[in-house]
Amino acid sequence: MVSLSPHQLWVLAAVERTATALSILGIATVFIAFGFSRDFRNPLHRIILMNAFFNVFDVVATMISLSGPEAGNGSGLCQLQGFLIQMFPLADVLWTTAMAINVFLIVFYRYEAADLRKLEIKYVGIITTLTFIPAFTFLFIKSPEKGPMYASVTLWCSVSPHYVLYRIIFFYGPVWLFFLITNILYVLVGIQILKQKRFLKSVTNSDDILDTNGHSPTVSLTHKVPTTIKP
């Protein structure tokens, strides 16, 4: 692996912190929109709000940047950064999946606002549990040969390359798994919406719409198109 010069590291850290500042601006925008706009307060947008709250801890980790590795692998700052990076980016992916699940339930099972609201506490519990337990456990894993689980990976502290299998199983693996699940859900939703659109179009364009007297007969639509979910 090619080592980076101090100047290169400084440039990368500056870019990282600049991007983090933009993320903070985005998070603040979500909080402000939710606080001042009643139209924003619906189940789908509340998921975004919860995700933004988790992202606050994510940006704390990226704002620490090189300060974590510079403090040393065994330092509290490095361990804190490693914990945050292990837990909250993965939680971000899980919240994205939760949003996809909500859309799926609306389209296929006609979930209303009250139904979705009941799921929110379950989402919080499941996502927090799935991400917190491994991230917290890793704080206590160390060995004389490999050192602590959380250690420098150049730009920040995260799961050490000496524990790469753990990184694959508990980070990259779940990220790709839930990324796949999210995309499958949205594909299914898209297919269902296209089917409903074609059905409505076929009813509208049917030659039987007008009877022999030029009047429109009553047409019963058994397919419902989901309406906007209100708070």
Is residue 23 one of the residues assigned to a domain? yes
Q: What is the per-residue pLDDT across 133-161, written as a single tens digit (0 to 9) for each? A: 999 999 999 999 999 999 999 999 999 99
Which residues, at least 6 apart from 190, have a Cβ–Cβ distance to it below 8 Å? none
CATH of residue 133's domain is: 1.20.1070.10
User: Looking at residues 39-60, what average pLDDT do you find?
Assistant: 91
The whole-model pTM stands at: 0.84
What does the DSSP assignment read for 160-194? Answer: -GGGHHHHIIIIIHHHHHHHHHHHHHHHHHHHHHH
Is residue 213 one of the residues assigned to a domain? no
User: By residue range, what is the domain housing residue 156?
Assistant: 6-204
Is residue 216 one of the residues assigned to a domain? no
The pair of structure tokens assigned to 190 is: 């898209």
pLDDT of residue 204: 75
Question: Is residue 2 over pLDDT 80?
Answer: no
Q: List beta partners, residue 143.
A: 147
Confidence of residue 198 (pLDDT cuts 50, 70, 90): confident
Is residue 215 one of the residues assigned to a domain? no
Is residue 230 one of the residues assigned to a domain? no
pLDDT of residue 208: 54
Question: Is residue 217 over pLDDT 60?
Answer: no
User: Looking at residues 21-29, what average pLDDT do you find?
Assistant: 95
Total number of domains in the chain: 1
Do 182 and 98 touch, CB atoms closer than 8 A? Answer: no
User: Looking at residues 43-63, what average pLDDT do you find?
Assistant: 93
pLDDT of residue 215: 54
Is residue 109 one of the residues assigned to a domain? yes
pLDDT of residue 229: 54
Residues 161, 109: Cα–Cα separation, whole Å: 44
Confidence of residue 225 (pLDDT cuts 50, 70, 90): very low
